[in-house]
Amino acid sequence: MTTISASYLGSLRTQSTHMKSGISITSDAPTDNNGRGEAFSPTDLVCAALCSCMMTLMGMAAEREKIDLKGLTSDVLKIMGANPRKIAEIQITFLHPNLEATAEQKEKLKHAARTCPVALSLSETVKQSIVFNF
């Protein structure tokens, strides 16, 4: 069964639809690569997927540990390389200044994030710089 159906809309824009939910995402090429930059670029979506996956896995660990993870936020920076043009580095900073957890529980959250399926699926040539501020 198809997971995602995608269409090229022209002008370097695509639309991808999640088949189970019907929710769609539009992507545009970035302005520095001949696009309009009016939506996430495909490489932005990779970075967002990494962050989302890390947060989801931390959420699972938090539930097991009976930790309230609500209020966790993040900032993501994508650094592109050239020759070939590709993601060189993804920097993610997680912030939860009021997290009530032991040092051991915090380490479990960090381990869950670093071993999420997206993190493990990315090429080793994509540097993942992750900071946990909690």
pLDDT of amino acid 34: 94
Local structure of residue 29 (DSSP, 8 states): -
pLDDT of amino acid 130: 98
Average pLDDT over the chain reads: 97
| Residues 76-89: tens digit of each pLDDT | 999 999 999 999 99
128: amino acid identity, one letter? Q
Q: Give the Cα separation of 123 and 56 in Å (integer).
A: 21
Share of the chain above pLDDT 90, in %: 99
pLDDT of amino acid 77: 98
| Residues 95-113: tens digit of each pLDDT | 999 999 999 999 999 999 9
Q: Beginning with the edge strand found earlier in the chain, give each strand of the sheet holding 127-133 in spatial order.
A: 73-81, 86-95, 127-133
> What are the Cα distances from residue 119, in Å, to 14, 60, 113?
24, 16, 8
